[in-house]
A and B are shown apart, each in its own frame.
Chain A
Amino acid sequence: MGGMSSKLPETSWSLLLAARTQNQARRQSAVENLVHTYWKPVYCYLRRRGYGNEEAKDLTQEFFRRFILEDKLVQAADRELGSFRQLLTTALKRFVSSYQRDRTRKKRTPEGGIISLPSVELIGAKGPISEAAPEDALYYAWVTNLLDQTLAETKRQCCDAGMAKHWQVFHSKVLAPILEGNDDLSLKEICHRYGVESEARASNMLVTVKRCFKRTLKRRLRDLARSDSQAEAEFREILAFLS
């Protein structure tokens, strides 16, 4: 499935750099991309810090404006050479401290914000982060973000490579039981449903999609890290967080 996309997604680091370019169009695109990708972890952190839905959304916008467009927050965090998540977390903590020190500071984010954030209530009363510490809420949202992006990209790769059926098999056998609580179908049922000639073939199809998922996840982790070893450590850390 390699080579089916002519252009890999930019890394978050390159987007951060692009967000400070003089080129207006490029800056706008990079900013929107970063906010679109990372607003949820920031928002979840702020909600668990005690801010209500609307205030948390406003602060999310304001944070990204300062995080991306002003260097101070980034420079301070960047010295630590951590992963992108660590950079974002450190910058966010400093932002909240600064905000609490100066609540009279006028908001400089324009009405409507950098991008329009969804208006749905994200934190359910009995959700997995309803009682989580703010950092854990950020971490949780970060991980689910990463998984959603990885799954979406894996699906795209399958379809681009003419393997839509592979994705359907994988979705039915692996994803739907996890995401939707569906019954775990046997390979025999999968073969019958999708016209796959044998269980061995269906098994091979699953392996192919899983390999694609693994490659994509590892690449995304690497994009967010400073080194291979840091990416590997991040993988292990997240696995420990989820276990």
Chain B
Amino acid sequence: MEGESSTFGLHREKLAKLWKMGEDTPNNQEADNAESPKVELLQALLAESLSLDAGITRMLPDIVSVVFEKLKPFTGCSYREILLNPEADPSVLETIKNLHKRRAESASGPAQEVAAIIYYASIAGALVHHDTRITKLSYEGLSQSFENLARSDWLPTNIRQLFDRAHKYCIRRMKQREK
């Protein structure tokens, strides 16, 4: 092994510890994928806390003070917690959506892709938990996007489930409109 100690000479129980990292267990059964930089970026972004920082305050002229007050209880919570929380107010989700739309527009590559994931997850959360559409995108377009995202193996399971529920929600709304 280049520049590293070799495993030759270790007793079997130590080798077993290393070998077991190759095992499929519930903890590491997230889909094998060739996109780990994206996975890592998304995990990091989902773990970021909502803070009333420059990113949010720059949007202040666009939001009324009541929304600012609604954001406050969620400061310090991670985006993951907020997106999956049925109690998160639609205005909070809309703020997260707008913030990550701006992030996606100013980024490229994996960073752009993960910002877009948060953007769509915010929309999905508002639909699923509050029956509220916080975007001008059509149900047809959203349905297609959510369906694709729900199939993305590299996303965390609970985020995929959110997208799956949002996809089904959009299908229901489209059918209701046809009646």
Report the nearest A residue to B16, measured CB to CB: A242
CB-based contact A179/B12 at 8 Å: no
Per-residue CB contact flags for chain B residues 1-32 toward chain A (1 = under 8 Å, else 0) read: 11011111111111111111111000010101
Q: In the complex, A139→B54 CA distance in Å?
A: 59
Residues in chain B near residue A143, CB distance under 8 A: 15, 19
CB-based contact B9/A151 at 8 Å: no
CB-based contact A128/B22 at 8 Å: no
CB-based contact A201/B12 at 8 Å: no
CB-based contact A179/B10 at 8 Å: yes
CB-based contact A144/B8 at 8 Å: yes
Interchain Cβ contacts within 8 Å, total number: 113
- Given known pairs A148-B1, A151-B4, the reply for A124 and B9 (CB within 8 Å) is yes
What secondary structure prevails in chain A residues at the interface with B? Answer: helix
Q: Does B152 contact A (CB under 8 A)?
A: no
Q: In the complex, A152→B40 CA distance in Å?
A: 21
CB-based contact B32/A214 at 8 Å: yes
Expressed in whole angstroms, the minimum distance between the Cβ of B163 and any Cβ of chain A is 21
Report the nearest B residue to A141, measured CB to CB: B8
CB-based contact B47/A200 at 8 Å: yes
Q: Does A198 contact B (CB under 8 A)?
A: yes
Residue among A122, A180, A211 facing the most chain B CB atoms (10 A cut-off): A211
Report the nearest A residue to B43, measured CB to CB: A204
Contact-residue bracket for chain B: 35 or more
Q: Does B77 contact A (CB under 8 A)?
A: no
Expressed in whole angstroms, the minimum distance between the Cβ of A183 and any Cβ of chain B is 15
Q: Which of B1, B22, B35 contacts A217 (CB 8 A)?
A: B22
Give chain B interface residues in 46-105, CB to chain A under 8 Å. 47
CB-based contact A144/B15 at 8 Å: yes
Q: Does A9 contact B (CB under 8 A)?
A: no
Give chain A interface residues in 163-199, CB to chain B under 8 Å. 163, 171, 174-175, 178-180, 198
Expressed in whole angstroms, the minimum distance between the Cβ of B172 and any Cβ of chain A is 36
Q: Does B34 contact A (CB under 8 A)?
A: yes
Q: In the complex, A89→B10 CA distance in Å?
A: 22
Q: Does A115 contact B (CB under 8 A)?
A: no
Expressed in whole angstroms, the minimum distance between the Cβ of A216 and any Cβ of chain B is 9
CB-based contact B9/A127 at 8 Å: yes
Q: In the complex, A151→B39 CA distance in Å?
A: 21
Residues in chain B near residue A198, CB distance under 8 A: 47
Expressed in whole angstroms, the minimum distance between the Cβ of A234 and any Cβ of chain B is 11
Q: Which of A122, A148, A238 contacts B19 (CB 8 A)?
A: A238
Residues in chain B near residue A152, CB distance under 8 A: 1-2, 4
CB-based contact B12/A144 at 8 Å: no
Using a CB–CB distance below 8 Å, which chain A residues touch chain B?
1-3, 40, 122, 124, 127-128, 140-141, 143-145, 147-149, 151-152, 155, 161, 163, 171, 174-175, 178-180, 198, 200-201, 204-205, 207-208, 210-215, 217-218, 221, 235, 238-239, 241-243
Using a CB–CB distance below 8 Å, which chain B residues touch chain A?
1-2, 4-23, 28, 30, 32-37, 39-40, 43-44, 47
Q: List 7 A-B contacts (CB under 8 A).
A: A40-B8, A144-B9, A178-B17, A211-B39, A213-B22, A218-B22, A239-B16
